[in-house]
Structure 1
Amino acid sequence: MRKILVVGAGQSGLQLALGLQSHGYEVTLMSNRTADEIRTGRVMSTQCMFHTALQHERDLQLNFWESQAPKIEGLGVSVAAPGSHDPGPTQRAIDWVGRLDGYAQSVDQRVKMAGWMDTFAQRGGQLVIHGAAVSDLDYFSRVYDLVLVSAGKGELVSMFGRDASRSPFTEPQRALAVAYVHGLGPRPEHPDYDAVRCNLVPGVGELFVMPTLTTSGRADILFWEGIPGGPLDVFQGVRDPGEHLSLTLELMERFVPWEHARTAGVELTDAGGVLSGRYAPTVRNPVAHLPGGGLALGVADVVVANDPITGQGSNSASKCAASYLAAILEHGEKEFDETWMRSAFDRYWATAQHVTKWTNAMLGPPPEHVLNLIGAAGSLPPVANRFANGFNDPADFEDFFYDPAKTEAYLASVTGAAADA
């Protein structure tokens, strides 16, 4: 029986460990926290997982919370009118909702990771609660057939060198601030289904609002992405959860009052329901060379860390785990050497490159043809729907988003079809 070590108990590490376990591999999972510590700790992320990523969980029968979590059937985009966040009423220049072909869901990672860790242990997996260091991996690389590193922060990540050719940014592009809340009211104009709301404030940042399942039931996530140094970049050093929520709401009132209007009954889900931080989007070399000559393969955020502006983190983690699982199963009894490791990553990168390209594009000011596309979606439902479904399959943006000529041709074809209907 092949022995595999997975370091890190997030979406990708746990999904991969449970998948390998189900195929008879002897899997050891290392986590720096117990399931109970995760369950009762601070929120770790925002997450809205779209159809393809959710299907990877279903394929492994790990969709334990599917019947409880809100079914997100739409994705809406609102754009504040230029200058409208100055004193006075704020208007929306653009406001529409696209329908998803398959629903999305969000499950608080405290719920999911703790539940999956318990499941892994109950199924006979070896769970080691220990914060791994490079020296640990040096030893383990001689004991295990394969070492996978899915812990996305700290000393271990530094083993994987930055790939400058795929990493255009050296500094964080957004200051991030998250609050999980109960009591958010519906939008007056909201359709009769759950939707993620993406609110874009040009030159300032973005607010994302998404329904989720948390430790205390259904909730909503309020997630600010602020341009560093701008008016949203005010959460550093804020330690009090109540102050964090107050700041969140004050900024909503100023910049997106149409969202603030439904916050009258809002309260934090719990004292751990806030998070803030920032990081530079980075693609890294997938193979780490350990001091003793061993190798480790990076997983998900360790090797491809995108800004969360396009909501792809947990989706990419699920897709990476599924891709690596398939590569491991196909490899059989052969050695997991560096050639195989790089081929496994290249297989994942074939999908991940589209996420990185789209996310990096969304971090900059939108060019005119993209503004035209987003604006046209307000009167052309097929455009709104296609844009929304790009969150599930970002590769589709190649055909209508980046190239002005392709965008123009696509809009012309949709307009023509609408005129003929």
Structure 2
Amino acid sequence: MRKILVVGAGQSGLQLALGLQSHGYEVTLMSNRTADEIRSGRVMSTQCMFDTALQHERDLQLNFWESQAPKIEGLGVSVAAPGSHDPGPTQRAIDWVGRLDGYAQSVDQRVKMAGWMETFAQRGGQLVIHGAAVGDLDYFSRAYDLVLVAAGKGELVSMFRRDPERSPYAEPQRALAVAYVHGLGPRPEHPEFDAVRCNLVPGVGELFVMPTLTTSGRADILFWEGIPGGPLDVFNGVKDPAEHLSLTLELMEKFTPWEYARATGVELTDAGATLSGRYAPTVRNPIGRLPGGGLVLGVADVVVANDPITGQGSNSASKCAAAYLGSILERGEEPFDEEWMQATFDRYWATAQHVTKWTNAMLAPPPEHVLNLIGAAGQLQPVANRFANAFDDPSDFEDFFYDPEKTSAYLASVTGA
């Protein structure tokens, strides 16, 4: 049986390792932390996964927490009225919620990755706890038919060259700050179902609020994305979790008081419940060359790293793992050569390109026709629903989002109907 090394134990690396294992491949998984270290560590992301990505987990029977995690049935968008945050109370110029065709879910990656890693080991997989360097891979690559690099941070990423044509931004476009909390009240407009809330503050940044399942049960995530150098870019160097939460709430009170109103009694879920940082969205060449001449294939955010403004990171990781798994299974006993590696990435890029295009568009100030579209969704429920469901399938934005004429034609078709 073919031997495969997977380096990195995140959404994509673990999903791929478990998928290959279920098909009888001899898989070695390399992680820089144990399951216990992950479970007791700091939160890693916000990971709201939509129906298609969740289905990839179901297909592999890895949806261990589906019955416990909150079912997210809607996606809401609020836009702060211009100039309303300074001075006086902020008003919403736009406020609506679209209903999802299939529910979304968020499971704290500390819960999921630790659980999946233990499952991989229990099923007989070889688990190596080691922070791999390029030199290690040069040594290991000779013993494996294929080496997959799914560790999106650190030295290994340097093996994959940036693709300037697909990477319009050289610098981070948002400063990120996450807090997991207990005690958040429901949105009074729709208390009967859970929704992700996207709050846009023009010229300042965005606040995302979403329900999740964490190590201590049901919780909510408060996630600020601030334009660098702006009023939300204040988390750099904040190490104390309590100070991080205090800043988060102060900014909510100033810029999104409708969300702050339900957050006055929140507390952090645990000592590792905060996260901050920033990175430049980047697409890289998928094939890495080792000093000894061997080739490795980059996975998920190693090769396509988008800003989390559109909530696509774990979705893309799941879709990448599913695409790569299909390519590996179809390859049979043929060599995993450079041509196959490029074709395997291209198969993933067929969907990933839509995520990258949409995410990069959302990082820029919206053009007038997009503002009109988001505004129309407040009056036309089918528009709100379509916008919400495009988070599951971003390729749909091609038909109504980017081009002013297509947007006008779509809105005319809805009002005409």
TM-score (norm 1): 0.99
Shift of 1:200: 0.1
Percent identity of equivalent pairs: 89
Letter of the 2:28 partner, please give it: T
Which residue in 2 is equivalent to 1:37? Answer: 37
Q: Secondary structure at the match of 1:396?
A: helix
Q: Indicate the larger mover: 138-147 or 186-195.
A: 186-195
Shift of 1:365: 0.3
Which residue in 1 is equivalent to 2:236? Answer: 236
Unaligned runs of 5+ in 2: none
Is residue 2:325 matched to residue 1:325? yes
Q: Distance in 1 between matches of 2:248 and 2:190?
A: 22
Q: Distance in 1 between matches of 2:326 and 2:345?
A: 12
Is residue 2:47 matched to residue 1:76? no
Which residue in 2 is equivalent to 1:363? Answer: 363
Q: Secondary structure at the match of 1:212?
A: strand
Q: Distance in 2 between matches of 1:246 and 1:185?
A: 17
Which residue in 2 is equivalent to 1:53? Answer: 53
Is residue 2:349 matched to residue 1:343? no
Q: Distance in 1 between matches of 2:160 and 2:45?
A: 23
Is residue 2:256 matched to residue 1:261? no
Q: Distance in 1 between matches of 2:286 and 2:315?
A: 19
Letter of the 2:136 partner, please give it: D
Which residue in 1 is equivalent to 2:176? Answer: 176
Q: Secondary structure at the match of 1:54?
A: helix
Q: Distance in 1 between matches of 2:190 and 2:235?
A: 30
Which residue in 1 is equivalent to 2:271? Answer: 271
Aligned length: 417
Q: Distance in 2 between matches of 1:165 and 1:219?
A: 40
- Structure 1 runs, 4 residues or longer, greater than 3 Å off: none
Is residue 2:116 matched to residue 1:116? yes
Shift of 1:191: 4.3
Shift of 1:323: 0.1
Is residue 2:190 matched to residue 1:187? no
Shift of 1:188: 1.6
Which residue in 2 is equivalent to 1:102? Answer: 102
Letter of the 1:56 partner, please give it: H
Which residue in 1 is equivalent to 2:298? Answer: 298
TM-score (norm 2): 1.00
Q: Secondary structure at the match of 1:409?
A: helix
- Cα deviation 1:387-415 (Å, max 9, x = unaligned): 00000000000000000000000000000
Letter of the 1:80 partner, please give it: A
Q: Distance in 2 between matches of 1:276 and 1:331?
A: 40
- Cα deviation 1:150-207 (Å, max 9, x = unaligned): 0000000000000001000000000000000000001121241100000000000000
Is residue 2:386 matched to residue 1:408? no
Q: Secondary structure at the match of 1:382?
A: helix
Q: Distance in 1 between matches of 2:309 and 2:362?
A: 7
Q: Distance in 2 between matches of 1:414 and 1:264?
A: 40
Q: Secondary structure at the match of 1:206?
A: strand
Letter of the 1:142 partner, please give it: R
Q: Secondary structure at the match of 2:106?
A: coil
Q: Distance in 1 between matches of 2:238 and 2:270?
A: 16
- Cα deviation 1:256-307 (Å, max 9, x = unaligned): 0000000121000001000000000000000001000000000000000000
Shift of 1:140: 1.2
Q: Secondary structure at the match of 1:197?
A: strand
Shift of 1:108: 0.1
Q: Distance in 2 between matches of 1:16 and 1:187?
A: 37
Which residue in 1 is equivalent to 2:386? Answer: 386
Q: Distance in 2 between matches of 1:132 and 1:107?
A: 27
Which residue in 2 is equivalent to 1:288? Answer: 288
CA RMSD of aligned residues (A): 0.4
Letter of the 2:302 partner, please give it: V
Q: Distance in 2 between matches of 1:203 and 1:176?
A: 15
Shift of 1:254: 0.2
Pairs within 5 Å for 1:192-203: 192-203=192-203
